[in-house]
Amino acid sequence: MQTIIQMMNLKASTIKNLLHTLMGYSEIARWNFSRIIMSMTGDYRWEELNDNGRELQDQLRNDYHCFISLVRFLRNDLSKSQQDMLESSAQRVLSVIKQTGFLFKMDKEDYFKNAVYEIDLQANLISAAYQVTEDYCLLIPDMQTLTDCPKIDSWEFNEITKFKIIILSTILKEIDKSNTQKAHGNIKTEILQYAKLGNIMEGIKITDHSIVYLADGTQKKSPETLPWLDLTNDYDALIASYFEMVRAHPHSQVALLTGNPRLQERAALANAIQIKPPIYKPASEPDNTPPVHVKPNVEPSSIPSEKVKSTDKKSAIKKSGATPLPKPKTIKPRISLSSAKPKEGKTTAPKPKR
The domain boundary residue, chosen from 243, 275, 307 = 275
Both 47 and 147 in one domain: the answer is no
**101 in a domain, yes or no?**
yes
Handedness of CA 213, 214, 216, 217 (dihedral sign): positive
The domain boundary residue, chosen from 129, 158, 176 = 129
Q: Which of 24-38, 123-137, 171-185 has the highest mean pLDDT?
A: 123-137
**DSSP per-residue string spanning 249-276:** -TTS-EEEE---HHHHHHHHHTT--EEP
**332 in a domain, yes or no?**
no
Both 111 and 68 in one domain: the answer is yes
**230 in a domain, yes or no?**
yes
Both 271 and 142 in one domain: the answer is yes
Both 104 and 121 in one domain: the answer is yes
The answer, yes or no, to whether residue 102 has pLDDT greater than 90, is no
**235 in a domain, yes or no?**
yes
The domain boundary residue, chosen from 129, 145, 167 = 129
DSSP β-ladder status, 44-46 and 102-103: antiparallel
Q: Tell me what pLDDT residue 338 has.
A: 46
The answer, yes or no, to whether residue 139 has pLDDT greater than 60, is yes
Both 206 and 247 in one domain: the answer is yes
Both 25 and 72 in one domain: the answer is yes
**What total number of domains does the chain contain?**
2
Both 119 and 142 in one domain: the answer is no
At 44-89, the pLDDT tens digits run: 888 999 999 999 999 999 999 999 999 999 999 999 999 999 999 9
Both 46 and 85 in one domain: the answer is yes
**66 in a domain, yes or no?**
yes
Task: Residue 230: give its domain's CATH number.
Answer: 3.40.50.1010
Both 121 and 145 in one domain: the answer is no
Task: Residue 91: give its domain's CATH number.
Answer: 1.20.120
| Cross-strand partners of 215 | 168
**312 in a domain, yes or no?**
no
Largest CA distance in the chain: 170
Both 50 and 24 in one domain: the answer is yes
For the segment 300-320, the average pLDDT, to the nearest whole number, is 50
Least confident of 91-95, 167-171, 250-254, 334-338: 334-338
Both 118 and 28 in one domain: the answer is yes
Both 90 and 25 in one domain: the answer is yes
**345 in a domain, yes or no?**
no
The total number of residues shown for the chain amounts to 354
The band of 98, judged by pLDDT with boundaries at 50, 70 and 90, is very high
Provide the mean pLDDT of the chain: 79
Q: How far are the Cα atoms of 162, 199, 243, 277, 339 from residue 207, in angstroms, in the given order?
A: 10, 16, 27, 18, 115
Domain that holds residue 69: 4-129
**46 in a domain, yes or no?**
yes
